[in-house]
Amino acid sequence: MSDSLQQPAPLTQRPSRWLHNLSAKLASLPMVLTALVVFVGCTVWTVFYSFTNSRLLPDASKFSLKQYEYLWTQRRWLISIENLAVYGALSLIFSLVIGFFLAALLDRKIRGEAIFRTIFLYPFALSFIITGLAWQWLLNPDFGIQANIRALGWESFSLDPLNNPDLVIYGILIAGVWQGTGLIMCIMLAGLRGIDEDIWKAARVDGISTVKTYLKIIIPMLRPVFITALVLISAGIIKVYDLVVAQTSGGPGLSSQVPAMYVFDKMFKDQNLAQGFAASTMMLVSVMIVLIPWAYLEFGGKKHAR
C-alpha cells in the first residue's frame, strides 16, 4: 500500500465522468463487489444478527445483548479465549525469537544455506491438517517420542501433552511453531539482507561483539520487519482452527477448544446461529484491537511510510 504509481494523465477529457476509464471500472468490478458485498456487507450482516435471537434461521424480530451475556457465561467460550491467549502469546514469542534466531544463523555466511532454508521452510508448505496429524502421531504416548525415549532406558520420561488437559495447548503450540516459524525466518532474513554491510564493518572496527551488534544495532533497525511479522502472526493466531481440529478435535474434554471452533459448532451443529454470530463478532473485535494500533503506526504517521 505504499508505492503508488502516478495516474496517467487523461489524454482527452471525456464527456461523462462515469464513462471515463470505463474498462478499468468494469475490470475492477469483482474487487469492488468483494470489498463491498463480502468484506463489508457480510461482516455488517453478521454483527447485526448477533444482536438477535436467531436459532436455526436468521430472525430479526427481537434485539438484545442476550447473546453476548450468554457467551461470556459459557465455560467452553472462556476456555477457548484462555487457550487463544496462551497459544497466541507463546506462539508470538516463539515464532519471533526462533524465526529471528534462524535467520541470524543463516545470515552468518554459512555453507549450505539453501539446504537449511529449505528444511526450515518446508512445513509452511504443508497444511495445518497435515501438521496436526503428524504431531498427533509423534506425541502419541504409546508409539511416539515418549515411548521411544522410554525404550532407551529413561523410564520416567514423559511427553504426553495431548492427553493432559493442562498441557494440551502446549502440544498444539509445538506443532504450530513447527509449521509457522519458517515464514517468519524468511521475512527476517529478507530484513537482515537489507542491512548495509558497512554497519557490520563499523561495529567490528569499534570492537562490538556479534551478539551485542544484533541486540543493540540490528534488531532496532529491523523494527518495521518485526512489526510486520507481529501483525502476520497475530492475524494467523485468531484464525487457528484446522490445527486443533486435526490434532485434538478440541479435547480432551473442552481443554483445547479455540474460538473459531466455538463459532463453527454454534453455527453449523448446534443450530444456535446468533450465538455463533456473537462469538465471531468478538473475534473481529480482538483482531481490531491488534490491527488498529498497527494501522495507526504504519499509515497514520506518513513520514515513516516508504
Partner 1 sequence: MHAETLEPHGPKPKRHFSRTNIMLYGTLLLISIYYLMPLWVMVMTSLKGMPEVRLGHIFAPPIEVTFEPWVKAWSQACTGINCDGLSRGFWNSVQILIPSAVLSIMVASVNGYALANWKFKGSEVFFTILMLGAFIPYQIMIYPIVILLRELGLYGGLSGLVLVHTIFGMPILTLLFRNYFAGIPEELFKAARVDGAGFWRIYFRVLLPMSLPIFVVAIILQTTGIWNDFLFGVIYTKPDLYPMTVQLNNIVNSVQGVKEYNVNMAATLLTGAVPLLIYLVSGKLFVRGIAAGAVKG
Residues 255-294 binding partner 1 (CB under 8 A) are 259-260, 263-264, 267-268, 273, 276-277, 279-281, 283-284, 287, 291
Q: Does 109 bind partner 1 (CB under 8 A)?
A: yes
In the bound state with partner 1, the residue whose beta carbon lies nearer, of 24 and 205, is 24
Task: Provide the minimum distance between the beta carbon of 141 and partner 1 in the complex, in angstroms, as a whole number.
Answer: 10
In the bound state with partner 1, the residue whose beta carbon lies nearer, of 65 and 289, is 289
Residues 205-224 binding partner 1 (CB under 8 A) are none
In the bound state with partner 1, the residue whose beta carbon lies nearer, of 208 and 284, is 284
Q: Identify the residue among 84, 172, 246, 254 touching partner 1 (CB under 8 A).
A: 246
Task: Provide the minimum distance between the beta carbon of 132 and partner 1 in the complex, in angstroms, as a whole number.
Answer: 8
Q: Identify the residue among 66, 86, 96, 113 touching partner 1 (CB under 8 A).
A: 113
Residues 61-100 binding partner 1 (CB under 8 A) are none
Buried b (16+ CB within 10 A) or exposed e, 111-141: eeeeeebeebeebbeeebeebbbbbbebbeb
In the bound state with partner 1, the residue whose beta carbon lies nearer, of 79 and 128, is 128
In the bound state with partner 1, the residue whose beta carbon lies nearer, of 169 and 234, is 234
In the bound state with partner 1, the residue whose beta carbon lies nearer, of 147 and 217, is 147
Task: Provide the minimum distance between the beta carbon of 200 and partner 1 in the complex, in angstroms, as a whole number.
Answer: 9
Q: Identify the residue among 12, 56, 61, 114 touching partner 1 (CB under 8 A).
A: 114
Instruction: Tell me how far apart the alpha carbons of residues 258 and 11 are, in angstroms, rounded to a whole number.
Output: 56
Q: Applying CB under 8 A, what is the total number of residues that bind partner 1?
A: 105
Task: Provide the minimum distance between the beta carbon of 153 and partner 1 in the complex, in angstroms, as a whole number.
Answer: 14
Stretch 24-43: interaction string toward partner 1, x if CB under 8 A: xx-xx-xxx-xxxxxxxxxx
Task: Provide the minimum distance between the beta carbon of 233 and partner 1 in the complex, in angstroms, as a whole number.
Answer: 10
Residues 123-182 binding partner 1 (CB under 8 A) are 123-131, 133-138, 142-144, 147-148, 151, 178
CB of 246 within 8 A of CB of 136? yes
In the chain, how long is the greatest CA-to-CA distance?
A: 86
Task: Provide the minimum distance between the beta carbon of 29 and partner 1 in the complex, in angstroms, as a whole number.
Answer: 9
Instruction: Tell me how far apart the alpha carbons of residues 204 and 179 are, in angstroms, rounded to a whole number.
Output: 36
Q: Which of 180, 179, 173 is nearest to 248 (CA)?
A: 173
- The grid coordinates of residue 209 equal 561483539
Q: Identify the residue among 190, 215, 289, 305 touching partner 1 (CB under 8 A).
A: 190
Backbone angles phi, psi at 293, to 5 degrees: -60, -35
Task: Provide the minimum distance between the beta carbon of 270 and partner 1 in the complex, in angstroms, as a whole number.
Answer: 13
In the bound state with partner 1, the residue whose beta carbon lies nearer, of 63 and 112, is 112
